Structure 1
Amino acid sequence: MNKEEIESILRDYNWMIKEINRQHAIVSNGVETRMVAKSGIESTLPRARGGVSDPVAKEVIRRERKYAWITKLEQKVIYIQERLSAIDDPEEIAVLECILDGMTITAISKYMGLPRKRIYNIKRSIIYKLSQFTQTPEHM
């Protein structure tokens, strides 16, 4: 992944984790969408043209898209998680943890008592290290 993609993943990491957890909770709790067929006179009327008219087929398509999307989010999160060991400077670790927790640069700056420019530079260093990281047997 390039540096822009890594920066985007870092920015979105917190909500991606929340969404992955939410989706897994839905699946593990057996929450399902209930579909009701039309009855009475509505069942005999013609339907709007175009697309799949079967509600079960539409739900299958929706779920397939959802699972593909969740899988994509999981891959992005795992990409970052597998490279966390590339960051070994304590200051960088602190900034990275704040970013992963969803804090803004301004909030991190205030929390750490450092200028925003310094936080941006640390973030840039983190992104560079994550982009250059290659797994070795000790990191696996």
Structure 2
Amino acid sequence: MMKTWTIEQIDYYREEVCGRCPGSLWGAKSICRVHQCSIGQIEQCPQWEVANTRASHYNRDPDKSGAKTEQMEQVEEELKDYPWMVREIDRLRETLQQIGTGLTGVYGLDGTMPKAKGRHADSVNREAQRREKYWSRLEQLEAKVQRLDAAAERIGDNRKRTVLTCLMEGQRMNHIARHIGVSRQRLHELKLELVRFLAKEMYGDDRKDIS
């Protein structure tokens, strides 16, 4: 009897296993020639069981090539989030400019806010708290984006840099594979190499250029 998978596991194995499977046909529609249906309709596959067993083995040995560390998983999440983080930074900057906080210095209540008195004090304080919250969120997002951008600059190989740029733009894996002229399996290998390097560059001490 096959294992019952969670929604998160199904999404993961469709991407990681089906994406590398020679039985997958990628194009306008993603078709599994083994199951004779759309890959998005697959909920169980013997190859998922094999991958799950291998993953359990790799998790016991983090030096194996397929193992993913916590830092690598964090990098993958940040790569997925990169497009909307950039959009959110632009939105927050525009909002802060509109409400008059400015972006040229550190905002401080004592230094820049008027001293409110009487019935308007509460509304002024609420506005100040709102501005502080926006500013704090902006700084957090900018730090994440800048950290990822800085690590990306250390990638010397043009093809890998192109893959990373496409990932940071939110492009789909099959589109990227066609763009750089490689199979989806090879693209997954390149992505894993990139994620491992970025994890070390952004969160680890073992830093070196990738080529």
- For the criterion TM > 0.5, the same-fold answer is yes
Question: What is aligned with 1:41?
Answer: none
Residue equivalent to 2:160: 92
> What residue is the counterpart of 1:118 in the other structure?
186
Alignment partners' CA distance in 2, 1:86 and 1:71: 23
Aligned counterparts, 1:30-49, within 5 A: 31-32=98-99
> Helix, strand or coil: the match of 1:69?
helix
Distance 1:91 1:101 in 2: 15
Aligned equivalents of 1:116, 1:60: Cα separation in 2: 50
Contact 1:3 1:127 in 2 (8 A): yes
1:12 to 2:84 alignment: no
Gaps of 5+ in 2: 1-69, 101-121
Larger RCO (CA within 8 A; separation ≥ 6): 1
Indicate whether 1:2 and 2:71 are aligned: yes
Do the aligned partners of residues 121 and 76 (structure 1) sit closer, same or farther apart at CA in structure 2, a change above 3 Å counting?
Answer: same
Quick one: distance in 2 between partners of 1:135 and 1:75? 21
For normalisation by structure 1, the TM-score amounts to 0.68
Q: Which of 130, 134, 153 is equivalent to 1:62?
A: 130
Regions of 4+ moved over 4 Å: none
Q: State the identity as a percent.
A: 28
Amino acid at match of 1:32: I
Q: CA RMSD in A?
A: 2.6
